[in-house]
Chains A and B, each alone.
Chain A
Amino acid sequence: MTWYLRKEEGIRTSPTEKIGAPDGLWVKCPSCSKPLHIKELMQSQYVCPHCSYHFPIGSKEYFRFLFENGEHTVLFEEIEPIDALGFVDSKPYPQRLAEAQKKTGLSEAVRCAVGPIGSHTVAVAVMDFGFIGGSMGSVVGERIARTIRYAAEHTLPLLIISRSGGARMMEGSLSLVQMAKTAAWLAQYAKTGLPYISVLTDPTMGGVTASFAMLGDINIAEPKALIGFAGPRVIREATGKDLPPGFQEAEFQLDHGFVDLIVDRRELKNTLLRLWDMLCSR
């Protein structure tokens, strides 16, 4: 007889609630509950070696394992957010920005860089969900547009790793038009004859999915990543129906024809290199 009965098996925090990569020496896998040493986790690209659960991670972690020896030059950090609307909800937007900057040590919800991956020099943008839900405002849109442009001007393959709740409300229509801006630059990039690979991770939603994230020449999703336009709660409210299990997950998107591949993060770099080796040989 136990002291208390656990009502639910395998209680897990949804990946969207967990914000950055885990810190501390030991972490418990939220999926299989096995204890994992942080070093072990880092060596497996933050994927649980026991159950393949993909821990949500950000630009810092992707840069570290994608670039050779983590070597890269960060681009466009000089572009910084401002409060163009004087937006106040539960707190003023400038305060929200300052808090996000302090919490994450990042200047915005995307980091852009150029550096070597295998034998290729690649322009990379990675979104950080920890920064106001990875939302796209003017700065995210502008940095991504400039990364695309940089890749086009330097004839480099382009990689964007998305993880975002969508467009940022606190910048109103300024956020909305970033969708058009990034898509317009991708149309320019297409002229280079080089591939744009989009990696969609958990979660990629709203205006980010409905712009650059879905426009990859090759769309790669991480296993089980939630990918869609409208969020599950909104769909439930609009239709009055429960959603089937796996709805909007990577496997659903693959089955419906919107992603090319689902790639385990431990295989991501290798897959990218195989693609670039075939597509970018000059």
Chain B
Amino acid sequence: MEVILDFERPIVELEGRIAETKRLAEQTGLDISDSLSALEERLERLKHDIYQNLSPWQRVQLARHPSRPYSLDYIHAICEDFIELHGDRCAGDDKAIVGGIGRIGVHTAILIGQQKGRDTKSRQYRNFGMPNPEGYRKALRLMKLAERLRKPVITFIDTPGAYPGTHAEEFGQAEAIARNLYEMAQLRVPILVFIIGEGASGGALGIGVGDKIYMLENTWYSVISPESCASILWRSWEYKEKAAEALHLSATDNLKLGTIDEILPEPLGGAHKNPTAVFRLVREKILQDLPPLLSIAPEELVPLRLEKYSKMGRWREKTASP
């Protein structure tokens, strides 16, 4: 069943009216093409008005839309061939992070992504896209494999956060994420990062350090989810909309803050309205941006990445007094 978000109701209502009008016209045989085209024009305007003026919280809702394409949807759509690989060679195989080898045009790449499920059962199987340490360690194993085989890494970010569980703490969630940041910073092959849904905190960053960071238009990326932020700073989840605004978590905000490189536009209403178009765009981006990165020697690539992250952040620097 199609999930309709609150702010989308006026669109759905108008679509219903148009359908009803069409049905009546068919029944009666009356020519109502004038009023119909007026209604359709109104619909287009309405869609633009709503989708192009989304509040940060509404974008968060779109980023979590259950019909949105997930990592494996992207991977299967953009690769001519893909073989999934499993396990961290240490403790297990986390289902919230998937990865494997794929071919995209002339390129072979290691693709890694956080994976959510579509129904109750698969959502549980994927742990709602919340990885355990095994997931980060599997991702790291695959990245080191990419480095050894001299293949680029492409990651897809879509997580409400690293899983806050007892097992995760016992197996070193913090260490696993920290280790990935450390290794990704010096990986000798190009890394492209696509934020395709939710980019929550260290759980996202754990597979999110790269040479190019892209954010789809209706996704969010921040240090904490708006709900958790609201419950800490406002002491109630009720303030999640306020928190979403305060956090500046949208793609446009992140581009301004310099934490990402590029925004990829989505079809009106979100990626799920026309997934094929989104897959095509992502594939084109990869085919366009990989060759220049692949032509940079590893000895130059790693310092460039370091430079990129060194610039991130905002502070004031008093000129040293003589």
Please give the residue numbers on chain A whose beta carbons come within 8 Å of chain B beta carbons, in ascending order: 78-82, 84-85, 87-90, 137-139, 141-142, 145, 167-169, 171-181, 183-188, 206-207, 209-215, 227-231, 234-235, 238-239, 241, 243, 247-248, 256-258
20 A-B contact pairs sorted by A residue (CB < 8 Å): A78-B318, A78-B320, A82-B315, A137-B313, A139-B315, A172-B248, A173-B223, A176-B201, A177-B205, A180-B209, A180-B312, A229-B162, A231-B164, A234-B228, A238-B163, A239-B165, A243-B166, A247-B166, A247-B169, A258-B172
- Return the 8 tightest CB-CB contacts between A and B, nearest first: A230-B164, A138-B313, A184-B185, A183-B181, A84-B314, A209-B174, A229-B174, A89-B233
> How would residues 215 to 237 of chain B score, 1 for a CB under 8 Å from any chain A CB and 0 otherwise?
00000011110001100111000
Chain B contacts of A90 at CB under 8 A?
233-234
Contact B317 A78 (CB under 8 A): yes
- Please count the residue pairs between chain A and chain B whose beta carbons lie under 8 angstroms apart in the complex: 205
Q: Which residues of A contact B314 (CB under 8 A)?
A: 82, 84, 138, 171, 174
The size class of the interface chain B forms with chain A is 35 or more
Please pick, from A185, A187, A206, the residue contacting B202 in the complex, using a CB distance under 8 A. Answer: A206
Other than the given A87-B246, A168-B223, A173-B253, 10 more pairs (CB < 8 A) read A137-B313, A138-B313, A139-B313, A177-B312, A184-B305, A210-B177, A228-B173, A239-B165, A256-B170, A256-B171
Complex Cα gap A234–B201 (Å): 14
- In the complex, what residue of chain B is closest to A211 when comparing beta carbons? B178
Residues of B within 8 A of A257 (CB): 172
Judging by beta carbons under 8 Å apart, are B165 and A187 in contact?
no
B65 on the interface (CB 8 Å rule)?
no
Q: How far is the CA of A258 from the CA of B172 in the complex (A)?
A: 7
Query: Are A184 and B319 within 8 A (Cβ)?
Result: no
Bound complex: CA A178 to CA B247 (Å): 16
CA distance A105 to B163 in the complex (A): 37
A183 to B310 Cα, complex, angstroms: 11
A181 in contact with B313 (CB, 8 Å) = yes
Option from A87, A187, A206 in Cβ contact (under 8 Å) with B182: A187
Interface hits, B133-162 → A, CB 8 Å: 162
Most buried by A among B163, B182, B209, B315: B315
Q: Which residue of B lies closest to A257 (CB)?
A: B172
Q: Is B26 an interface residue (CB 8 A)?
A: no
Given the complex of chains A and B, what is the CA–CA distance between A215 and B172 in angstroms? 12
List chain B residues, Cβ under 8 A from A139: 313, 315
Instruction: Assess the A84–B257 pair: CB atoms within 8 A.
Output: yes
Are B205 and A180 in touch, CB under 8 angstroms? Answer: yes
Chain A residues with CB under 8 Å of B246's CB are 85, 87-89
B12 within 8 A of A: no
Across the interface, do B257 and A180 meet the contact criterion of CB distance under 8 Å? no
Q: Chain A residues with Cβ under 8 A from B185's Cβ?
A: 180, 183-184, 187
* B303 to A, closest residue via Cβ: A188
Q: Which of B168, B186, B205 makes the CB contact (< 8 A) with A176?
A: B205
- Cβ B257 vs Cβ A172 within 8 A: yes
Interchain CB contact (< 8 A) of B309 among A78, A167, A177:
A177
Query: Does B175 make an interface contact (CB < 8 A)?
Result: yes
B47 interface residue per 8 A CB criterion: no
A235 and B165 contact, Cβ closer than 8 Å, known pairs A82-B314, A173-B249, A184-B185? yes
